[in-house]
A and B are shown apart, each in its own frame.
Chain A
Amino acid sequence: MADKQSNPLVTVAETIADNKFIMGDKLVEVGVSGPTLEASLSSISMAQGELGHARLLYRWSYEVQGLRAGKIDVKEQTGKAFSQIVNASNWVDLIAGLYVNNVAIDLVLKELMKNKKEELNAQFDKMLNEQEEHLIYAEDWSHQLINDKGAIPKRFEAQVDEAARAAAKWLDEVQNDEHLQGSGAVSKNSDLPGQFNTVINKLPLDRNVTYVG
């Protein structure tokens, strides 16, 4: 387990897995009371996807540590999930966290898959396709909440800000980790935080903010 502490790739895998584990949990807990029947049913269906992704990533983190993964029975996260999604208690919080976190996770997974093609592509391809659908869902709902009435757009914006600050900080750590760069897992010039800001700022919020780590 000493290797676990010193291997940033394990930390990256567990951070993604933890967030997906919590998102899966919240997609059921909060999503069951979604604003429409279709949104709720899809939310619960996607929860199965996110929990499956979490199991896949926990298994990969075991493999990176040279441990036998076997059947993964996840009971709790390792403590690396972002606080915004951990504390999400309503639809607005859920959609903000689901979108922002999946944008950040998508960037990191694509970066890892670009640089570790042979090791990762076969096992992560299906996950990435499913994640693309989760992103479409969260982005479409983000637009609906931004264009909603009353306090909803402002509350959504605040939740996006909170989630994006944590995600940008994580991306900055991943981007600048010497071990990840040295092992070829992350390219020096990939600018993950910059890519993240470009995507998030496409949301038609009232302002243009650069989230920094």
Chain B
Amino acid sequence: MSETGSENYVLFTRIKRGDDLTQVGTLRAPSDELAKLYAKQIYDEEDWVEMHVVKKSNLIPVRLPEGLLEKEGVK
């Protein structure tokens, strides 16, 4: 039972109206449907007013951290 085809998803939630939408975790799932279900079942510690899963590959990087070793001049 391999995880072939699974993708990383990032989970964002808002606890109450007016609160920030915050990243609370990540998960791996083979489909959007299962990603939504995993998010609901696993991250049920709060009565979230809002919850989103986003495929990590769909995040568009604007700025990324420089590799640590690279920054320190280690080749």
Contacts and interface: CB of A to CB of B under 8 A. Distances in A.
B28 to A, nearest CB: 6
Interface residues of B, number: 17
Contact of B44 (A39, A45, A137, A149): A45
With a 10 A CB-CB cut-off, give which of A91, A140, A148 has the most chain B CB atoms.
A140
A136 B33 CA distance: 8
A39 B29 CA distance: 9
Contacts of B28: 36, 38
Contacts of B40: 133
A145 interface: yes
B37 interface: yes
Given A36-B28, A140-B31, A144-B30, A42 B1 contact: no
Nearest to A91: B1
Contacts of A42: 37-38, 41-42
A140 B2 contact: no
Interface in A142-156: 144-145, 148-149, 152
A36 B41 CA distance: 14
B1 A145 contact: yes
A136 B42 contact: no
Interface in A33-58: 35-36, 38-39, 41-42, 45-46
Contacts of A148: 1-2
Contacts of B27: 38
Interface of B: 1-3, 6, 27-31, 33-34, 37-38, 40-42, 44
Closest 10 CB pairs of A and B: A35-B1, A42-B41, A45-B41, A38-B38, A140-B34, A41-B42, A38-B27, A42-B38, A137-B37, A136-B37
